[in-house]
Amino acid sequence: MTTASPAWTADAWSAVEADGRVRLLAAACISLRLDATACTACRDACPVTCIEVAESKFVVGESCIGCGHCTAACPTGALAANGFAEAPSASGDGTVRVECLKVPAAVAGEHAVRVPCLGGLSPAHWLALVAGAGPRPLIAVDRGWCGQCEVAIKCGGEHPARAALDRAAQLAAAAGLPAEHLPRMESAPLPQTLMPPRIPGDAPAAPSRRGFFLRIGNEARRAVGKDAAAIPPPRTLRAEPMPLPDRDRLLATLRRLAEAAGQPVPAAAFYAIDISFACANSGICTGICPTQALSRYEEGDRAGVSFDAARCIGCARCVATCPEHALTLRPADSAPTGELPLRLTSHVRHVCRECLQLWFGTIDSAGDGRCPTCRRNRAMGASLFGRS
């Protein structure tokens, strides 16, 4: 029904923070594949603004506090942070509680899932915890500390987990989970005096042995003109299919939940794209699509645009860059069925009677037999010199 992104191995991830707490899958990073302005989600989410991205360069600075907000914000799952891989276990009252690491272990309980920050969990991660909890309720515990925490600057007054948790609950409900099993947040305030100033387990006061040698190695590489991170250039990254770890996890978990409930995979996890007859088959949308959800095909005397809904993250770059304004992005009416990608357009091959070049367009778009470029040039000449 849906296609999966290419497999990746553990050695494809590289440490981009000196103590190894943040790792990068360069092939999945939109900014590294296109340009640094193509996606700023991780930089926008970082509460200490310590992420630097440029061509073939991705660095997480020493001020990193290990909150994981960058990993939760990444639309593809290109980043991973330590401390977010715990599997849920049942507590004494049959619930699974997710707690911040700042909450003392004695208060959270030995069965709690403890993470550096609840805001470091993406909807896909929350869904994975829901699936692991089985029939037990999953509760995100709000201790009332977020407003005074060092990561609060980017939370906008809301609990940092609220948006991702609500999205996970929406998808879980659409997959058929009963209301009593949906993830939810509960308030259980603790005195502010119990809150440590920093997230436990973040960067030590003195550099770790690993961090020390990593920094020395980075400085040595810079001294000989090499960047600190061995990241391939954009052209090399774009030559391979793009992995989508977070998207794959979300769809795989939703499929499990839906199958267990006897329901189809919900449409809420997908987008749809409509392309009008204004499409000139320029291929700009397929070239700008960061996840290769849109692709170009040619077969015989026809060519057009294909769409893989399993790979679409809803960024709308294609809509914004289409010169004919022919694309519309919307929530899908149903989950895709059958083989992907689907062909959205089919343009017939023509030979331009003026430049004699091959071009693809609809039957009606052939018009006077000229290709779009020649028609534009002739129209421009007519406007300038008053002749056709």
CATH code of the domain made up of 270-345: 3.30.70.20
- Tell me whether strands 96-100 and 79-81 are parallel, antiparallel or unpaired: unpaired
Mean pLDDT confidence for 252-272: 96
Of 238 and 382, the structure prediction assigns the larger pLDDT to 238
Domain boundaries, the chain: 10-81+210-238, 270-345, 348-385
pTM for the full predicted model: 0.83
Q: What is the DSSP letter of 10?
A: G
Lowest mean pLDDT among 6-10, 42-46, 69-73, 189-193: 6-10
Matching residue, tokens 């991973």: 80
Half-sphere exposure of 361 (CA within 13 A, CB side): 19
The residue behind tokens 């896909």 is 124
pLDDT for position 351: 74
* Span 1-48, pLDDT tens digits: 556 667 667 678 999 998 889 999 999 999 999 999 999 999 999 999
User: For 85-99, 191-205, 306-320, 355-369, which range has the lowest pLDDT when averaged over its residues?
Assistant: 355-369
3-class DSSP assignment, residue 218: helix
pLDDT at 76: 96
Q: So what's the pLDDT on residue 367? A: 61
Task: Give the residue-averaged pLDDT of 231-252.
Answer: 92
Q: Are 57 and 234 in contact (CB under 8 A)?
A: no
Calculate the CA 98 to chain-centre distance: 23
**Domain 10-81+210-238 sits in CATH 1.10.10.10:** no
Query: Residues near 118 by Cβ (< 8 Å), separated by ≥ 6?
Result: 98, 100, 140, 159, 160, 161, 165
State how far the Cα of 71 lies from the Cα of 80, in Å rounded to an integer. 6
Whether 219 shows a pLDDT value over 60: the answer reads no
In the chain the first and final C-alpha atoms are separated, in Å, by 51
> How does strand 342-343 pair with strand 358-361?
unpaired
Type of residue at 141: V
Q: Evaluate whether 10-81+210-238 and 270-345 have a shared fold.
A: yes
What local confidence, expressed as pLDDT, does residue 365 receive?
Answer: 54
Neighbours of 362 (CB within 10 A): 17
- The mean pLDDT of the chain is 85
In this prediction, residue 300 carries a pLDDT of: 79
